[in-house]
Structure 1
Amino acid sequence: MTFKRGRGRKRYEGLELPSEELQPNEEQKTPLEGMITAVERHPRKVNRYQVYINEALAFTVHEDVLVEYRLFRGQSIDAATALAIQADVKRHAAWSDALAYIGRRPRALREVKLYLKRKGHGESDCEAAVRRLEEQGYANDAQFASQMAEHRMLEQRKGRRWVQQELQQKGVKRDVIQEALTQVTPEEEQEAARQLAERRWQSMSGAPQDKRRKLAAFLMRRGYTASMVNGILRELMANEPADESEEMWEPEEDMSLD
């Protein structure tokens, strides 16, 4: 195989060489063969190396791939090895994107997979990255669901139904969700709802009955059950003047969440 110069860089005859790591959706190119003539550290990307075959840039690889395939100067590369390197470059790109994604905040495994697909990674590379995250303890749906349930219910004061729906949307399995919800007791959930309701009630204006209806709708939208909401409203209305009281309004159980 021959090479020639073109537009400021060398390229193989009939084969444009990649200047960066292979993109996830890039079509498979003819595998490169020959002698590694240079290995240079990438000028901008950390832990990346540029590998030259027959003096032309062939791959940009992570140092893990470099070591695994012993890509050092003087090493010969055949077609099969070139194809394997291309596949590993793609797998490592998916893995790197997965690590960066969960590094920003905890994620459910399905969230990670969907993110990688949006980035253009192939199905097998997405699955391999997610499986590796789970095996190495970087991501765990049970731990993720438990932490989210506690944070949403006790700190953000969201109801059990809200948390259940949110975790379902993130692809967490039903049994994992149910186990996570047990980490917060009904008493803790009700106390969080009561504190939220009291603050909201104090900031509301208007007649007690109007305030009651608005507050009930607000609490239901946050995922609290009708029975819990009604109990809290009875406590709040008990402190209102007796002549303002009337028959308690029962909120509907099927009120939709925001």
Structure 2
Amino acid sequence: MNSFQEVTMPTITKISAQKRKGRYNLFLDDEFAFGIDEGVLVQYALAKGQELTSAQVAEIQEQNNFRHAYNIAVNYLAHQLRTRHEIWTKLEDEEVPPAYIKQVAAELTSQGYLDDTAYRDSFVRTQMLTTENGPTVIQRKLRDKGISPDLASIDAITDIYPEDEQRQTLAKLIAKQRSHYRTSSAREQERKVRQHLYAKGFSGDLISQAIAYADFTPDAEEEADALATQAEKYWRRYASKGLAYQKRKTKTMLYQKGFDLDAVSNWIADKEASEE
């Protein structure tokens, strides 16, 4: 009698295609074993009738798990560039174990598909060409995407988006905003424009330079037209409150809006006289 039993190895008895392209079902000893990626199938030259050791089965499953995670990442990258953080988050959402995420990240990095520096450069250039955002807004967007602080520093961004380019964007923004606030006083226009430029992410120094170049010195005719438009609005708004209140409140509101107090008083006097 033999002192040991003969060890039999599982045999591939069937390989069938799944409905999903690039995926196959692997059967060992006439029983379904696991789904397998086409790349793994080719890598190990798997075929019907082939015997596999338990170690080989484990290795194939490991490679299959990696390939599954890798394919998720590649499909995610197919639509646009992604940061390392975005890839990691996507794979976590797909419940890929951390060990495989690290493998995938390393593989994509070695292939040149995952490069946060290249991503930053491309992102900044796209923002320059397609938006009116300044460096601090761009920086915030980069950090939201997981780009590290050193790569997303203001200095790094302005190396790609130099001040001359920023000044051109500022000039366009100022022209657009002045048109939007054309019924406001020159002082109010400047205040609102400055506020908007800060919100768009430009530095205080560049904003001041751009505003000085744009010259918000009031034009007498435009200022008078803006005053008349605003004054009529407030005069009607407070008409039911009594003349004294109407005059006081209209004057206060117009002064807060940046109009000259003497010009406001003259408009109210003229208005009051015309209604007598």
Bucket of the pairwise TM-score, normalised by the shorter protein? 0.7 to 0.9
Which amino acid is the alignment partner of residue 183 of structure 1?
A: I
Q: 2:193 and 2:48 mapped to 1: Cα distance?
A: 72
1:181 aligns with 2:158: yes
1:40 aligns with 2:16: yes
Which amino acid is the alignment partner of residue 193 of structure 2?
A: L
Size of the alignment, in residue pairs? 213
Report if aligned partners of 1:208, 1:237 keep a CA contact under 8 Å in 2: no
1:242: Cα distance to partner?
Answer: 5.9
Secondary structure in 2 matching 1:235: helix
Higher mean alpha-carbon deviation, 160-169 vs 92-101, is at 160-169
1:207 aligns with 2:185: yes
Structure with greater helix share of residues: 2
1:235 aligns with 2:213: yes
Q: 2:60 and 2:126 mapped to 1: Cα distance?
A: 43
Q: 2:196 and 2:104 mapped to 1: Cα distance?
A: 41
1:180: Cα distance to partner?
Answer: 4.7
1:67: Cα distance to partner?
Answer: 2.0
- Equivalent pairs: percent with the same residue? 21
Give 1:219's match in structure 2, choosing from 197, 208, 224: 197
Unpaired segments of 5 or more residues in structure 1? Answer: 1-32, 250-258
Give 1:98's match in structure 2, choosing from 60, 66, 73: 73
Q: 1:154 and 1:68 mapped to 2: Cα distance?
A: 44
1:112: Cα distance to partner?
Answer: 0.9
Paired position in structure 1 for 2:94: 119
Give 1:163's match in structure 2, choosing from 125, 133, 138: 138
TM-score by length of 2: 0.70
> Whose RCO is larger (CA < 8 A, sep 6+)?
1
Q: 2:163 and 2:105 mapped to 1: Cα distance?
A: 34
Q: 1:77 and 1:157 mapped to 2: Cα distance?
A: 61
Paired position in structure 2 for 1:143: 118
Q: 1:181 and 1:148 mapped to 2: Cα distance?
A: 13
- After superposition, the C-alpha distances for 1:112-135 in whole angstroms (9 at most, x for unaligned) are 112211211111111111121121
Higher mean alpha-carbon deviation, 69-78 vs 234-243, is at 234-243
Which amino acid is the alignment partner of residue 50 of structure 2?
A: Q
Q: 1:198 and 1:167 mapped to 2: Cα distance?
A: 28
1:190 aligns with 2:167: yes
Secondary structure in 1 matching 2:35: strand
Structure with greater strand share of residues: 1
What RMSD in Å do the two structures reach over aligned CA positions?
2.3
Unpaired segments of 5 or more residues in structure 2? Answer: 1-8, 224-257, 259-276
Q: 2:158 and 2:144 mapped to 1: Cα distance?
A: 15
Report if aligned partners of 1:41, 1:49 keep a CA contact under 8 Å in 2: yes
Report if aligned partners of 2:69, 2:96 keep a CA contact under 8 Å in 1: yes
- Structure with the greater alpha carbon radius of gyration: 2
Paired position in structure 1 for 2:147: 172
